[in-house]
Amino acid sequence: MIFGLSSKELEVISFLEFGEKYYFTRTDVKNFFKNANLLSFYLHKLMKKKRIIKLNRRKYFLVPIKAKKGFWAEHPFILVDEIMNGSGYFIGGSYAGYYWKLIEQIPREIDVFTTKRQGTLSIFNIKINFHRTTQNNLKNSFQQKIAGHSFFILNKEKTTRGLKW
């Protein structure tokens, strides 16, 4: 359910929407607020109203106005790349197998291998499992593009060996 927006919230959302800046940081919108406290207050209100989603410490995702009833789906590879700020990770496991057309069923979870974090995260009904790996294993990744956005995925040879038949 979408709640009413104040004029300040509408101003910020309009600025981001017209600029097609769906992934943004606090510095992108700080000019709209007098100080950091007001910025934090309005970002918190927008998160409660489900108009923005916090991806990591510094990055947010704007749910577009055209989203019906506040629901939106973003491509999982783009979402993972934005969460990881475009470096230090690769997508592996069954989702890599699906990408390389080694399996046909769309996996329900994404396995992300990174040196930075571990644990799970659920965004847009997508469960993201973060696994620790070494810097040396990141060399097994391959950069690809989808919808004009690049991301890192485990190469096909390693994916084939990693899938359990």
Query: What does the pLDDT read at residue 1?
Result: 39
Do 92 and 40 touch, CB atoms closer than 8 A?
no
Residue type, 35: N
Q: Kindly compute the dihedral angle of the four CA atoms of residues 117, 121, 124, 126, in this order, to the nearest 10 degrees.
A: 90
Do 29 and 15 touch, CB atoms closer than 8 A?
yes
pLDDT 10s digit of each residue in the chain, 165 long? 345 788 888 899 889 989 989 899 999 999 999 999 999 999 999 999 888 889 888 899 888 776 555 555 678 888 899 889 888 999 999 999 999 999 999 898 999 999 988 889 888 778 999 999 999 999 989 899 988 889 999 998 888 887 664
Neighbours of 32 (CB within 10 A): 14
CA distances from 19 to 15, 54, 99 (A): 6, 19, 31
| CA pair distance 69, 42, nearest whole angstrom | 21
Query: What does the pLDDT read at residue 92?
Result: 92
Query: φ and ψ at 25, to 5 degrees?
Result: -115, 175
Domain covering 7-66 assigned CATH 1.10.10 in the classification: yes
Ranges for all domains in the chain classified under CATH 1.10.10: 7-66
Query: What does the pLDDT read at residue 73?
Result: 61
| CA pair distance 61, 10, nearest whole angstrom | 15
Do 110 and 41 touch, CB atoms closer than 8 A?
no
| CA pair distance 55, 44, nearest whole angstrom | 13
